[in-house]
Structure 1
Amino acid sequence: MTESVTIDHFDQKLLALVQKNNLQPARELAEAVGLSESAVLRRLRRMRSEGVIVADVAVINPAIAGEAVTIHTLVSLERERSFDLDAFVRKIRQRPEVKKIWYVTGEVDFVLLLRLPGMDRYADFVQEVFHADENVKSFKTIVAIREIETGGGV
């Protein structure tokens, strides 16, 4: 998304609706925001081309998909040189358990969102990814007890 993108109140309403259901028909979106169907379609197309909407995705039920455990891991690295950061990110991106990665400020360097079938698979992940990497200084594990929906999208 560029700095020159303008989002008005109609766009904000549309974004809120498509974050809840991106398969909602344009006719229903138009009724909900008070625009014509063609105006809604033009706005959605524009927001996709400008990078406001970056993906249309299906949100799956992790338990049914065999990913019953959700874990947030806070990772600190020994060195934060560009080369070291890039190497860590490349390695993490190759792991299917990792659903999201954030490079953050503060006491840790990265926050990872992982979804796995069980804790035994997380133990394997820890061994293969963290313990095998001499640049991983430390990590903290936060296991989600249950997900509480906010309705704000993925």
Structure 2
Amino acid sequence: MPKSVILDHFDHALLQAVQRDNQTPARLLAEQVGLSESAVLRRLRRLRREGVITADVAVVHPAVLGRPLCIHVLVSLEREGAAQLDAFIRTLRARPEVREAWYVTGEADFLLHLQLADMAEYDAFTRAVFHEEPNVRAFRTVIAMRQVVG
């Protein structure tokens, strides 16, 4: 997490623009936010250096990669000691099906976003990650029918 960083309205405008499309040329960003191209490039370098921009990525449609099934899972653990949490997090990080994972508050301990080829792959995942793990108390599955925002 970045240390306390002061952002002005130009920084906020740039961040909004690059979150929509990080391939937008600096010339167009400059026109959108009212700065020179060189000022935009300097600000973007600073935002990356200070950890405000954490990654420049390409979002690839999961179906193209053979993983059209999007599943969200709420996972509850038996114990939440540091060792148990770290072990479960290591397991999640080692699984390619796990696209994102959050340690959360409320009725569950983790919220997972999985991308899978099919239900058979999800069945194998649940057996390996949930059923074989004695610290997993319960999990609830939500299957996405289609993405409507994002």
Superposed pair shares fold, TM > 0.5: yes
Unaligned runs of 5+ in 1: none
**Separation in 2 of the partners of 1:107 and 1:121?**
26
Q: What percentage of residue pairs aligned between the two structures are identical?
A: 57
Q: Which runs of 4+ in 1 moved over 2 A?
A: none
Q: Which residue of 2 aligns with 1:118?
A: 118
Q: Which residue of 2 aligns with 1:11?
A: 11
Quote how far apart the aligned CAs of 1:81 are.
0.3
CA deviations 1:109-143 (Å, max 9, x no partner) are: 00000000111100110001100000000000000
Task: Using structure 2 for the length normalisation, give the TM-score.
Answer: 0.97
SS at match of 1:43: helix
SS at match of 1:90: helix
What does 1:35-74 align with in structure 2 at a 5 Å threshold?
35-74=35-74
Q: Which residue of 1 aligns with 2:98?
A: 98
Quote how far apart the aligned CAs of 1:64 are.
1.1
Q: Which residue of 2 aligns with 1:85?
A: 85
**Separation in 1 of the partners of 2:141 and 2:21?**
32
SS at match of 1:63: helix
Which residue identity does 2:109 align to in structure 1? D
**Separation in 2 of the partners of 1:149 and 1:107?**
25
**Separation in 2 of the partners of 1:149 and 1:67?**
19
**Separation in 1 of the partners of 2:127 and 2:21?**
38
**Structure 1, 141-150 or 67-76: larger mean CA deviation:** 141-150
Unaligned runs of 5+ in 2: none
Quote how far apart the aligned CAs of 1:149 are.
2.4
Q: Which residue of 2 aligns with 1:29?
A: 29
RMSD over aligned CA atoms reads 0.7
**Separation in 2 of the partners of 1:59 and 1:11?**
23
Q: Which residue of 2 aligns with 1:139?
A: 139
Give the number of aligned pairs. Answer: 149
Quote how far apart the aligned CAs of 1:67 are.
0.9
Quote how far apart the aligned CAs of 1:65 are.
1.1
**Separation in 2 of the partners of 1:42 and 1:142?**
43
Which residue identity does 1:99 align to in structure 2? R
CA deviations 1:56-82 (Å, max 9, x no partner) are: 000000111111100100000000000
